[in-house]
Amino acid sequence: MKRIALDMDEVLADIYAKFKFYFERDLGWKPKWEDYAGGKIYELEGAKHIRDYLYADGFFADVTVMPNSQKVVKELVEHYDIYIVTSAMEFRNSLADKYDWLNAHFPFIHWKKYVMCGDKSIIQADYMIDDHVRNLKTFDGKGLLYTASHNVNNEDYTRVNNWMEVRAFFEKELAKDGIKL
Amino acid sequence: MKRIALDMDEVLADIYAKFKFYFERDLGWKPKWEDYAGGKIYELEGAKHIRDYLYADGFFADVTVMPNSQKVVKELVEHYDIYIVTSAMEFRNSLADKYDWLNAHFPFIHWKKYVMCGDKSIIQADYMIDDHVRNLKTFDGKGLLYTASHNVNNEDYTRVNNWMEVRAFFEKELAKDGIKL
């Protein structure tokens, strides 16, 4: 079985849904995608403190699940050895929150397949789905870049804009071996 | 720089020092190494519950540092890219404790180099030091088996009995390239 290393933040977990909530609460207006595309929402004027919420106990506990991710990952688990590989180490308080979140929303992935790390260059897999170019750069396998505002200008990787596109990519991969997803 | 994946429990952290403390407290006698060599201390009669302490919040917070490990790792950091790779995922409460412990006792290793995982087959490195044969089995690089009661009968890997033996091993490796540890 080929191995997929699946990123969590901005791939399975919709971190920006929370950022946008805090942004509107603290700054009093609702930025549009175009306002921060090419960068991060907290790079907008007066929003620098928004990133600091990541350090809070509980931030990662109630993040919204990315649309269709549960359904598609559940299908992929039948054909691939799926690991959740998340850069969690900058945020000490995120560890238990992320553990509980994965357990609650992706119960069909065993805890043996969770990897909380810092630098992902130590990860060995056939595919990696990630929103950070830096993680795909040090990866030896096939990297899929999951669209996020900060990566819209990158053209070095196969881009996936949502989970239905992830599904379509692996549907084609499996079809090469005569397997139907 | 070559990469070393360093296990935590029973390699950097002396888990058995705590097990022995609880064993004596709960069972009223002090088992000797010979009593459990070839297996685990909690496999002795009446001690099955000892393993369950691993699930407790705080168990990993105050574990004793393995003799000479800090000194040797600090030397190795100059010549190797060192990651701490620990199977933490069975124990949800261990995550923050392990993070704090590493930060307190191995401050010269950046959090970017911490990896908390389940199954270690996803790890890519040149060397792995581990007390579990199952982790070395799925490892592609050079595995060093750190002696623990449960692995004393294994002869498949280069054995290291303590941190001065780890040091001696890498001193020789570096000498091949004309480098003095």
Phi/psi at B20 (nearest 5 deg)? Answer: -65, -35
> Helices then strands (H, E): number in chain B?
6, 8
Can you give the pLDDT at residue A127? 98
Nearest CA in chain A to B119: A112
Distance between CA atoms of residues A146 and B146, nearest Å? 40
Q: Enumerate the H helices of A45-93 as residue ranges.
A: 69-76
Q: Enumerate the H helices of B41-150 as residue ranges.
A: 69-76, 94-105, 133-137
Which among B5, B143, B4, B87 is positioned nearest to A115, based on CA atoms?
B87
Interval B149-161: pLDDT, tens: 999 999 999 999 9
Q: Please, what is the Cα angle at B13 between B11 and B19, to 5 degrees?
A: 110
Strand partners for A5: A83, A128
Q: How near does any CA of chain B get to the CA of A147, in Å?
A: 24
| 8-state DSSP, B9 | B
Residue type, B106: F
Distance between CA atoms of residues B36 and B51, nearest Å? 14
Distance between CA atoms of residues B83 and A63, nearest Å? 29
Q: At what angle do helices A94-105 and B94-105 cross, to 10 degrees?
A: 150
Distances (CA, A) of B84 to A5, A87, A140, B93: 19, 14, 21, 18
Nearest to B95 among A3, A96, A110 (CB): A96
> Which residue ranges in chain B fall short of pLDDT 50?
none
Four-CA torsion A146, A149, A154, A156, nearest 10 degrees? -10
Active site residues of A: 7, 9
- CB–CB of A113 and B118 under 8 A? yes
Kindly tell me the sign of the dihedral angle through the C-alpha atoms of A120, A155, A3, A141.
Answer: negative
Residue B91 with chain A: CB contacts under 8 Å: none
Q: How near does any CA of chain B get to the CA of A35, in Å?
A: 31
Please list, residue by residue across B147-171, b when 16 or more beta carbons sit within 10 angstroms of its beta carbon and e when fewer do: bbbbbeeeeebeebeebebbbebbe
Can you give the pLDDT at residue B9? 97
- CB–CB of B89 and A112 under 8 A? yes
Active site residues of B: 7, 9
Distances (CA, A) of A105 to A47, A90, B96, B157: 30, 23, 21, 40
- CB–CB of B114 and A110 under 8 A? no
pTM of the model: 0.96
> Can you tell me the ipTM of this complex?
0.95
Residue B109 CA to its chain's centroid (Å):
15
Residue B118 with chain A: CB contacts under 8 Å: 110-115
Kindly report the average pLDDT of chain A as a whole number: 97
B119, B128, B132: best to mutate for the A interface, most A CBs within 10 A: B119
> Which residue ranges in chain A fall short of pLDDT 50?
none
Can you give the pLDDT at residue A104? 98
